[in-house]
Every structure is written in C-alpha cells, then in structure tokens.
C-alpha cells in the first residue's frame, strides 16, 4: 500500500485493493464517529474548489458538507462563472487554481478535460463525474455494499441498462474488490472499451468474473446486488426518444426483475432516478432499496478520500 497524499483520482483504477479498503475503513469511522471528527477539524487550512460543467445535487452538497465538517473550506463554481467559459484554457485554469486551493473536484463534460486539468494542476484533482467515469460514486457504492453485506469479495453484482459512466467505474471497483459483475445492456449501449480493459486488469489479482451480456433476467440470476442508472445521462438528452424505445421494457428494474435476484438482494442507484423509466416506485421505495444510505455514504467516503489525499496518513 502506498501513500495516497497528492494523488489524482480520475477513474478509480489509481487505487489498489488495499487503498480502497483503507478509504472504506476510514469512511466507516467517519460515519460512526461523525461528531468526533467534526470536533477535530482535521482539514482546517485546506480549501477545495469545485468546478461544475453539469448540474449536481449529491456530489456538490456532499463535498461541501465534507469539507465543512472537517474544518476546511470549499468554493463551488459553475463553469459559466469563470474565465473557462470565455476561452481560458483548462491548462491555465489548472495552473491558477493550484496557487490558491489544495484540491480540485471537477465535473466536466468530457473525460479528456478532467485529465488535462489533472495533468496541469500541481494539486490533487478528483473527477466528480465525466462522460466515462464517476469514481467518487463507486467509493460510496462499495462502502454501502460492505455495510449491507458484511463483505465485498465473492458477491455478485448485476448492472441493468446503460453501460454508462457509473457502470464503467463499478466494473473497475468490482474488479479490484473481487465482486463478480454481470452487465446486461443492449448492443449499442455496452460499457466503454477502455474501462472494460481497466476492469479486466484490475481483476487480474482478485480473479473475479466480469461479463457483458444482453439478457437482464440472466444477469440478475444469483445476484446479491442489482444496480441501475438513468437511460439518459447528462449530455444524451437529445437521444431521449430512441433510448427509451431501446431500453424499455426489458431493462426496467421492477419487482418482477428484482424478485429473480437472490432473496436478500439489495437495490442500488446513484440517483437522480427517473421513476417509471429505469426503475419503478415499488423497487426504489421498497424494502430492498438502499439508495438513501448509498447517497449518504457519498459524504463519509469523500471525507475519507479528501483526508487521505490531503493529509499525511498518521494525521487521520
């Protein structure tokens, strides 16, 4: 296990299995001892800048509260408010931010943009969702799975629907942590090839199975965790009609599909959900759904991530 301080997190593949366990253990501590850590103010003197090119509810609020709880500051910037929107380069934006703040979290349109930001910033850059990856979501997902199931290794996760940014990153997370993952998606909506390769590499040690198929009913068979996300990610709104036609009804997580998974299976969704599209009310509001714990865990896992990126490990 190596020092995490100063690292960028763009895909999740930056972290080894041991690194992820360390983040999850600290996240659990933050959750259990929330008041104690708020009192300790371990991130006082640290400032996070957040840049958003796309909307956000959970990422924005949880990062903001995480910094506040730990005594740090955060600055939230819509990309239209900064000179980036008037043609200043990402490189120069990165150089300037690096002189003011300690860490950047960016939600960019295009994965390449967050990579350039990370390359030219001398401080850690966290990808807060790009078109290909959403690593901070998957840290919270892994925390939630471990919390509910008591372990990660040996479980089976079924992803139903669009092979999107969250699916790509879950492939990497499951690969690292030894969770078998079966993705069921229509032919033109498979996970990203590069992400699949990263996941395969991540799974070399854990020996988990990663499979991409088309049949949603087959994927949920023996699954301990059933996960879906919107069929229409931010940036795909113009494809709404054709996407709904492709995904519905086969890829909707409803009670019938959920009941084909293991009896004690849990349902997860990164949110925001589109009720009646990728998931029905009865599933997302049902007893198997853990979506609100999953949303809460964004806060705890990001506190752990920020602390490990910003502090020497002995101080957290």
Q: How many residues bind ligand CP (CB under 6 A)?
A: 9
Dihedral, CA of residue 251, residue 129, residue 76 and residue 291, to nearest 10: 40
Nearer to ligand NVA, 53 or 307 (CB): 53
Name the residue with tokens 């033109």: 188
Contact status: 56 vs ligand CP (CB under 6 A): yes
Say if CB 110 and CB 130 are below 8 A apart.
yes
Nearest distance from residue 166's CB to ligand NVA, in Å?
5
In the list ligand NVA, ligand CP, none, the entry touching 57 (Cβ below 5 to 8 angstroms by class) is ligand CP
Judged by CB under 6 A, the residue of 20, 23, 105, 129 near ligand CP is 129
Nearer to ligand NVA, 22 or 60 (CB): 60
Residue 106 to residue 114: CA distance in whole angstroms: 7
Nearest distance from residue 74's CB to ligand CP, in Å?
14
**What residues numbered 100-139 form the site for ligand NVA, per CB under 6 A?**
129
Q: Which of 58, 111, 134, 146 is catalytic?
A: 134
Contact status: 227 vs ligand CP (CB under 6 A): no
- Look up residue 54 and give its two tokens: 């796309």
Choices 105-113, 209-217, 229-237, 246-254; region in contact with ligand NVA by CB under 6 A: 229-237
**CA angle in degrees (0–180, nearest 5) for 10-40-291:** 50
Q: Which of 8, 131, 229, 252 is catalytic?
A: 229
Choices 78-86, 107-115, 140-148, 225-233; region in contact with ligand NVA by CB under 6 A: 225-233
Q: What is the DSSP string of 271-295?
A: S---BTTTB-HHHHTSTTB-HHHHH
Nearer to ligand CP, 154 or 272 (CB): 272
Residues 6+ apart with CB under 8 A from 34: 69, 300
- Cα–Cα distances (Å) from 199 to 12, 18, 110, 170, 313, in that order, read 10, 16, 20, 9, 27
Residues annotated as catalytic are: 107, 134, 137, 229, 270, 298
């Amino acid at each position: 296990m190596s020092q995490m301080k100063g690292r960028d997190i763009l895909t999740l593949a930056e972290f080894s299995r041991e690194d992820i366990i360390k983040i999850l253990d600290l996240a659990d501590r933050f959750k259990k001892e929330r008041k104690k850590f708020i009192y300790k103010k371990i991130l006082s003197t640290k400032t996070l800048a957040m840049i958003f090119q796309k909307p956000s509810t959970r990422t924005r609020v949880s990062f903001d509260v995480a910094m506040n709880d730990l005594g740090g500051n955060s600055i939230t910037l819509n990309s239209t408010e900064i000179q980036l929107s008037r043609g200043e380069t990402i490189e120069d934006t990165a150089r300037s931010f690096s002189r003011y703040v300690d860490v950047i979290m960016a939600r960019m349109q295009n994965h390449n943009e967050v990579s350039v930001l990370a390359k030219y910033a001398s401080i850690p850059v966290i990808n807060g969702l790009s078109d290909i990856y959403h690593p901070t979501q998957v840290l919270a997902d892994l925390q939630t799975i471990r919390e509910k199931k008591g372990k990660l290794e040996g479980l089976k996760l079924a992803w139903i629907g669009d092979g999107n940014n969250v699916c790509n990153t879950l492939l990497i997370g499951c690969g690292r942590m030894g969770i078998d993952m079966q993705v069921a998606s229509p032919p033109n909506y498979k996970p990203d090839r590069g992400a699949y390769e990263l996941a395969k590499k991540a799974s070399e040690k854990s020996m988990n199975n990663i499979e991409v198929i088309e049949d949603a009913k087959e994927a949920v068979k023996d699954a301990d965790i059933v996960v879906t996300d919107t069929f229409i990610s931010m940036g795909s709104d113009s494809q709404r009609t054709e996407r709904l036609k492709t995904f519905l009804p086969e890829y909707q997580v409803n009670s019938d599909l959920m009941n084909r998974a293991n009896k004690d299976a849990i349902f997860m969704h990164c949110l925001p959900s589109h009720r009646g599209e990728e998931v029905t009310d009865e599933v997302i509001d049902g007893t198997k759904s853990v979506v609100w714990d999953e949303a809460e865990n964004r806060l705890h896992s990001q506190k752990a991530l920020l602390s490990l990126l910003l502090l020497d490990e002995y101080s957290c």
